[in-house]
Amino acid sequence: MSREPKGSIPNLASWLSLPGPKMERFRPSDLSVLIERIRSIGPVTKLPVLNSFFQSPERGNRQTEALQAWLANQDLNGPLVLVTHQVNIAALTGVYPESGELVVIARSKDGKISTVGSIRTD
């Protein structure tokens, strides 16, 4: 996510509040502009491992491994929305999303993460 309050952030908030399965678990990075916008949709709990490591690439492997470990211990029976940065998403999935693009992932029984697809919100 960009640090600037671009159209993608309000669009993402609008998209997530559409009728359908409710997104009730949000885990964003420390981007305060984003947190305030999605607080109206559901409870928000910051997840520091989602903070960008763009300025400190040496943290990338360690941070991605920590995110994989965190994901391995999550109940994924319902929707879980992680909001992070392109560099983090690319490290986890190999996908380089546009700002505001959702990347949908799945966890197999053996704990491996795979990309299911992506959704543009603009």
Of 14-18, 28-32, 98-102, where does mean pLDDT reach its minimum? 14-18
Domain range list for the chain: 8-119
pLDDT in tens, 6-26: 445 556 556 566 666 555 677
pLDDT in tens, 69-99: 999 999 888 778 888 899 999 999 999 999 8
DSSP assignments along 40-99, one per residue: TTS-B---GGGS--TT-GGGHHHHHHHHHHHHHTS--SS--EEE--HHHHHHHHS--PPT
The fold adopted by the segment(s) 8-119 is: Rossmann fold (3.40.50)
